[in-house]
Homo-oligomer: A and B are copies of this chain.
Amino acid sequence: MVSLNLDREVEQRLGDHDVRYTRGRRVVVSALAASDGPRSAAELHREIGPDLPLSSLYRSLSVLEDAGVIIPHHGARTLTRYELAEWLAGHHHHLVCVECGSVEDIEIPKKHESRVKALVQELSDGASFTPLNHALEIEGRCSKCT
């Protein structure tokens, strides 16, 4: 579901942020709009070609993110965080603070969990996908950052 007036809306939004909707930025937006999932800078660079240098591409991504046109999947991931596997820690979900980046585990009531599980199975079946695990990732502001 991508708006038909995508360029119009993005241009509007960028205007509100006092930045121009230049060729490099257009090409990044259009590449992302054509994707069926999130894309990294390297992947976009491969798709777009060498006309848009990597350093410019990164710059465009950063401008577009600041303007709220694009978002980093799973937050800006310049580091990897580990946790005990679920067979040790139990099944749980996450509250991710967009402000400070902290992540807190939460468990959910069994009755809800079984609904979620069924939903996961249904969605996976529809996409020929073999689910191994799932988690509800809730992004927002934690109690400290409110």
A61 cross-chain contacts in B, Cβ below 8 A: 82
Contact B123 A132 (CB under 8 A): no
CA distance A61 to B83 in the complex (A): 10
Given A36-B104, A119-B136; A80-B80 close (CB under 8 Å): no
How many residues on chain A are close to B (CB under 8 Å)? 83
Q: Which of B86, B89, B120, B140 contacts A129, CB < 8 Å?
A: B140
Please give 19 more A-B residue pairs, beta carbons under 8 A apart, in addition to A2-B84, A112-B119, A123-B138. Answer: A38-B83, A39-B81, A40-B81, A43-B81, A69-B84, A71-B83, A71-B86, A72-B81, A77-B79, A78-B79, A106-B123, A116-B136, A128-B146, A129-B143, A130-B141, A132-B140, A134-B137, A135-B136, A137-B137
